[in-house]
Each structure stands twice: as structure tokens, then as C-alpha cells.
Amino acid sequence: MFLEKDIVIVGAGHAGISCAEALRIKGFKGTLTVVERQIGFPTEKPPLSKGAIVNGTNQNYSVPLLKPENWYVDNNIDLKTGITATSIDRINRKINLSNKNTISYTTLVIATGAIPIELGITRKHPQSFTLRNSKDAKEISRAASTFKSALIIGCGYIGLEVAASLTERGLKVTVVETEHRPLAKISSSAIAEKLVQIHERKGVRFRFSNSVVNVDHLNNGFRALLRTGGHEIAEMIITGVGVSPDSILASASSLARNDNDKNSICVNENFVTSDHHILAIGDVAKRVGAEKRIESVDNAQEDGKQAAAYIMKEVRQPRGVPWFWSDQYDKTLQTAGLVPTSDANVKMVFRPGKRGDGFSVWGFVDEKLRSVEAFSDPSSFAIGKRFLSDELSPTSSEIVDTSVDLKLIYKRFHAKAKEISRA
């Protein structure tokens, strides 16, 4: 078992910092070191595709910090930034750093996140970008001051959010996507349609069921050739076709990885890797038995807390329902649960919201609630998340019936569940 002595966390992202915080809250008194390759105090990731692109050239704007600057000293956390962990000496339990130093550990937590997938055809051109860290966001934001048009490859959350941010900066934006709609594997078609609608109203053009097969460099930009023929011309390109877990450290030290999941690090239900002195959390890790590896702030933070509980030998608490949000223009999409897009028996139920163009989509499989997606409808999201967390399932006909308030439906189910548990 773990001795509470020297814990080293590699990666000061949402997972790594959540783990460090939970360790101190739970009373860990030993040495706690966090190594981060990016320079400066660790920042949040979600604003990078939103505020950091819209406001990035404004001198008064800075990406929100994960924790205030004094938090690290106040919590006796040795934050080493601008330093990369280059390899692990598993026999002597040491990590080697880019500044040639080594740090010993009793427990090592790998929280290295993920890296954007690059396409050979757009790689390494000064007007071609991917987005993962504040440096990337700054470069995109700066380029948006110079260029008038952008081509975005990939219509997932990053593609959509960057499309919104660049449109707000006044660029003409075109998005190319291989699937027939946005977020094909992770959202309902009603949500996808709504997102396309709000983007098209702002002038974004979509080329669905298509892909960029080659890119010619022009004097000031690109001509992107499309699979179905024709081309798109743009001054900058942003590739947002997904990420790969950043498992370089793990592969260099022969920790077990999932070759059917982009080489993510295999961990057990306590986040322990194939070396019992090393844990892995966040985007980089896939838990045994988990339906899939989730890339979200909630997932990373939850992993961090649960890993800390395991290190501190606490009883594992049940994991909350996964949830996610995305901001595009002035609209917010919130999702609780995993949308069962590929399930043959899925039934998606639409419910109008109380205000404006808000609505929610409730995903059922065999009449059991599996997900709630809420577009500009925070109260439906909150109640849907509660249903899922409590493992209660309203019927699809109750959701369709807008004459009954959602809160009342939830209260009724909750009271009934309490009654059953008392009996």
C-alpha cells in the first residue's frame, strides 16, 4: 500500500490540480510536487476556445487561473512549471525532468491530458493551428486580428466553439466535417440541428459529409481540396479532429496501455496502472469497465478526487453522473449522462423549455433515462441530472407532457424511491 510520503503529480491540468487539492483536503501531510511543462500558473482549459479567442488580444484579458497564485504556497504544494517530466525510473521510483533534475516518489500520478490530432496536410504551417493550451489560443486569437477567413476541420465541440469565437471576431468561417452533422457520436440530432441553425444565422458555412483531402499553399493562405470535389479558400486553418491521450511517459516506461483506445493508459477502478506505485487520471487514462474514456472537466476533476481518496485509503464514493457543457455565442448547451447515439433502442424525447428558444432532449433506452441535453434550458438540465444521479427514470410520456412541471415529476419519483427504501 501507499506510504504517505512523496507524491508527485505530472500535469497541472484539471485532473492533476483536483488531485493535489483533494489530497491536502483529506489531510495528506507529505511532500506534494506538481510538474507542469507549460510556463506560468496553471489555467482553465474551457475558456481557450471561447473567451481566450474572442478577447485574447485585449491587454486586460487573461485566461482564468485554475487556482489563485498563492494557493500553491498556502497548501504547501511545490509547483514546478516550464518543466517536462521526460521519463520514469520505475525501479528506483524517480522521474527525470527536462532540467536534468530527478524527483523521487512514493506515489506518482500521471495527469498528462491529451494532445490534438494533427493532419499531415495542414501540419507545421504558420497559418495552421490546433488548440490545447493557452499558447495555442493566443496564437489563434492573434491570427484572427490579421486574417479575414478561417477553415475549421472537424465539427466537434472544439470546432463549433472556435467557429463561434472567430465569427464573433468578424472572420468568415467554414467548417468541414466527415459526418453528416455536428457531434454525430455524442449528441442527439435535435441538438445538432439547433447548433447548425444558430451558427448559420451568424454566417458560418458547413460542408458536412465531406473532408479535406489536400491543401495547396497560396500566397496568403490555403486552398483546401474537398473529397467530393471543389475547394475552400481560407487564410487560416484550425484542425479540431479530436485528441490522443498524452501517454508518452507511460509508453516510455512500459506501463500497460489500451491499443484500442488511442493508447490511453490502462487503470483499474482505483486509477492504479500496471505499476502499483503509479496512478493515471483524466483524459490520459481509461478505467477498466468504464463505458468509454470521457474528455471533460467534470471527469478530470472527479478522477482527481477519487484517486486522492484511494491514496488516502478512504472508501471509494460512488461516481457522479458525467456532465459536460459547451458555450457558443451567448448560448449554453449542457449534457448529463452519455447520449446513447449508437443504441438501436434509443428514443429521444423533445421538451420545450420555459424561456426563449430553450429546450431539452431526453434520451431513453428501453424506457430507461440515459441522458439529458439542455439547450439554453438550465433548469431542465439540473432536474435531468438529478434523475440520473439518483438512478430514477421518468417515463418518456411524462417528459413529453409539458402541462406537468418537471420539478413535480422529480419530487414524486424521489418520494416514491424514499418510501421503497424505508419499506
Ligand X SMILES: Cc1cc2nc3c(=O)[nH]c(=O)nc-3n(C[C@H](O)[C@H](O)[C@H](O)COP(=O)(O)OP(=O)(O)OC[C@H]3O[C@@H](n4cnc5c(N)ncnc54)[C@H](O)[C@@H]3O)c2cc1C
Task: Give the H/E segment covering residue 14.
Answer: helix 14-25
Considering only 10-18, 210-218, 231-239, 363-371, which stretch makes contact with ligand X by CB under 6 A?
Answer: 10-18
Phi-psi region of 271 (alpha: psi -120 to 50; beta: other; left: phi over 0): left
CB of 82 to ligand X, least distance (A): 9
Site string for ligand X, 110-149 (x = CB under 6 A): -xxx-----------------xx-----------------
User: Rule CB under 6 A: which of 187-216 touch ligand X?
Assistant: none
* DSSP codes joined into one string, 326-351: EEETTEEEEEEE---TT-TTEEEEEE
CB of 185 to ligand X, least distance (A): 16
Half-sphere exposure of residue 60, counting CA atoms within 13 Å on the CB side? 0
CB of 24 to ligand X, least distance (A): 17
Report the residue from 23, 37, 173, 302 that binds ligand X according to the rule CB under 6 A: 37
Contact call for residues 211 and 189 (beta carbons, < 8 A): no
**250 part of the interface to ligand X, by CB under 6 A:** no
Contact call for residues 361 and 372 (beta carbons, < 8 A): yes
Strands lying side by side in the sheet with 231-234: 212-218, 221-226, 231-234
User: Rule CB under 6 A: which of 289-318 touch ligand X?
Assistant: 295-298, 300
Contact call for residues 76 and 27 (beta carbons, < 8 A): no
In 174-318, which residue ranges form alpha helices assigned H by DSSP? 189-201, 248-252, 297-311
CB of 98 to ligand X, least distance (A): 8
**48 part of the interface to ligand X, by CB under 6 A:** yes
CB of 396 to ligand X, least distance (A): 27
Report the residue from 15, 212, 224, 399 that binds ligand X according to the rule CB under 6 A: 15
CB of 48 to ligand X, least distance (A): 4
**154 part of the interface to ligand X, by CB under 6 A:** no
**96 part of the interface to ligand X, by CB under 6 A:** no
Q: Would you say how long the chain is, in residues?
A: 423
Q: How many residues bind ligand X (CB under 6 A)?
A: 36
CA distance linking residue 408 with residue 399, whole number of Å? 11
In Å, how far are 34, 95, 105, 142, 313 from 24, measured between CA atoms? Answer: 13, 22, 17, 39, 14
Q: What residues line the site for ligand X (CB under 6 A)?
A: 10-16, 35-38, 45-46, 48-49, 84-85, 111-113, 131-132, 158, 246, 249, 282-284, 295-298, 300, 324-326
